[in-house]
Amino acid sequence: MKNKRSGGIVAALCAVSMAAGIFCSFGFAKAEAPAGIVKGCKSAYLMDFDSGECIYKLNERERMPIASVCKVMTLNLCFDAVEAGKVSLDDEVQISANASGMGGSQVYLECGYSYPLSELVKSIVVCSANDSCVAVAEKISGSEEQFVAEMNRKAEVLGLSDTLFSNCTGLPKETQYSCAADVAAMFAELLRHDEYFAFSKIWLEDFAHGNGKTISMTNTNKLIRRYNGCDGGKTGYTGEAGFCLASTAVRDNMRLVSAVLGGDTSENRFASASSMFDYGFANYKNRIVLDKTVALNEEFSVRGGKKGRYAVLPEENCYIFGKKDEEPDITFEVCDDNVKAPVAKGQKVGTIQVYRDGVLVKSVNVVSAEDVRRASYADRIREVADGWDM
């Protein structure tokens, strides 16, 4: 049975925060912002990556085509398959006639040739290659049709209620749509794959074909060079969808995720995303309330160990997102799992529940900061003897 502590441990945790140079004063984000941030775009959405809280929204649930931003979900399924061990980025992918025959943005894959999966993924991220999308879909699922079915299942799992895919490229097709809020959510999911960032920051690179030919790829996301902190994004354009963009930027421990759809010009989509980021970074902040390098002031007890108490740490940093000028009440509740010795350094031994204005916002594991060996028979005899001496 877990032992819950809240009174004294709250003060201890606040002391830990103060020792780390941080303060318990944070606010709920409000989806309110001055008019004029977004220009020339039909819908938009800005959110904090860590908490998922909305900062700005404009027609965020309006269903519309998203063109090549559809490839965000294609990439999600690809990295899911890599992490599950279904495929490896080192795998060779043989190109079908179906894949090599795709139109629109492409790297002109040669039918019958094989390419490393990593190179195909790179071409999707950097230059939105439709032929690579289909080749990846066929590699992972056997056919584009089956892959699209998996895309829609993934959308359902993520709770994307205003999204439906009909292909893996975003090329115009009936019954295919999404919305700004869903695009931001699926892009945030992609950002949880660390491998993505190995490709997303490439600006200019050649794509090599097996026959000796090369094609120069330039990143379609101009914010990589234009906006301080931008390290990822996916563009899209068709006459039907207009100019679309999902993008992200990070500064001072805060990552923001944005989506703009239906832009009237390419420049307006980039300018609108930049303006949303500017607003978010100027008015919101992620402050740390638990520092994984700072031990809690109160130690945990252990049964059957060479020592009766041991130091503990949060397993990870915990940030609270909110407006810079708001000061909500931050409280903590610590649950000690009351483990028996031996205890290994880094072992989970409890949890910390973090509350903002009485609402649970995060649960963080507590881990041991040290090894605690099991007490020997001689140790127990000495403990009994010490008790008699008292």
Show which residues are catalytic: 68, 71, 128
Which SS3 state, helix, strand or coil, does residue 53 take?
A: coil
How many Cβ atoms are within 10 Å of 87's Cβ, its own excluded?
18
356 bridge partner residues: 330, 359
- CB neighbour list of residue 202: distance below 8 Å, 6 or more residues apart: 122, 125, 126, 217, 219
Q: Computed from CA positions of residues 39, 45, 50, 53, in that sequence, does the dihedral angle turn out positive or negative?
A: positive
363 contacts 381 by C-beta, under 8 angstroms: no
Which SS3 state, helix, strand or coil, does residue 178 take?
A: strand
74 contacts 151 by C-beta, under 8 angstroms: yes
The backbone torsions φ and ψ at residue 353, rounded to the nearest 5 degrees and listed phi first, read: -90, 130
260 contacts 39 by C-beta, under 8 angstroms: no
Helices (H), 2-49: 7-19
260 bridge partner residues: 44, 245
